[in-house]
Amino acid sequence: MKPKLGQHFLFDQVILDKIIDAANINDDDTIIEIGPGPGTLTVKLLEKANRVVAIELDRLLHHKLVQRFQNNDKLQLILGDALKFDFGSIGKFKVVSNIPYQITTPLIFKLLKNRDNLTSMTLTMQKEVADRIIAVPGSKAYGILSLTVQYHTQPLEIFSIPPEAFRPPPKVKSTVINFRILQTPSVEVSDPELYFRIIKAAFNQRRKTIANTLKSLYGEDTKGFLLLSDINPTHRPETLSSAQFANLANVIKGSKG
């Protein structure tokens, strides 16, 4: 089956079973699957979960899924765009998906906006994006995506998937990541909006020093804020931990009353 929307369908039964195991599905769980394609993962989700909500954008694939699962009342099939879906209408849920790679980052951000109802995510994604999500300070992959996701979740790399496990095989490597949604953010900040504004400004010019990247926000006060936060002004943004960014945000917030 040739995908029209850039999807690569996972058919390897052993790998599908490993994804199910990693998702830790209970028989009272509601699972959201995004981009179910031909339904290979859907079958296994229905064996474990109380309810599965599968969102498919492709009309032909959706039609085939309706035919395949027409007698299964545990499955709710939705024809539509997951980026426009109202996840708040579902109640408590987990996400288990081989998500279309081209929407990975915006989809994760949208799901995290619904984190009050979101228990966990187990997602198959492009390895390059997975590396950015789990990156640590000092690595080239570390940046805005790492800090944003790690603020709200605890991401854990489960295993890699070779291209030949998919049809058609993608040109990139894939990785399964499990995200545990944190009840409280990973770092304590008095103003989350300020915290992310600082991070965005810092990584927009990541090759510059942290002092230079933040001058557009705080001018001549920048160096003083950094020194009060025990941050070396000559260090680059990718060397700073989330705790250091949080401390800086709190110092700046405190200085402005």
| DSSP letters for 79-143 | ES-GGG--GGGS-SEEEEEE--GGGHHHHHHHHHTTTTTEEEEEEEEEHHHHHHHH--TTSTT-S
**How far apart, in whole angstroms, are the C-alpha atoms of residue 253 and residue 257?**
6
Domains of the chain: 9-181 (3.40.50.150), 192-255 (1.10.8.100)
> pTM of the prediction?
0.93
Three-state DSSP at 12 gives coil
How would you class 80 by CB atoms within 10 Å of its CB: exposed for 0-12, middle for 13-18, buried for 19 or more?
exposed
Q: According to the model, what pLDDT value does residue 1 have?
A: 43
Which residues of the chain form beta strands (DSSP E)? Answer: 9-10, 30-34, 51-56, 75-79, 93-98, 118-126, 153-161, 166-167, 174-181
**How far apart, in whole angstroms, are the C-alpha atoms of residue 37 and residue 9?**
7
Three-state DSSP at 62 gives helix
Mean pLDDT by 10 residues, the chain (257 residues): 63 97 97 96 98 97 97 96 96 95 94 96 96 97 97 97 92 95 97 97 94 95 97 97 98 86
User: 181: closest CA among 135, 92, 121?
Assistant: 121
Assess contact for 93 and 111: CB atoms under 8 A.
Answer: no
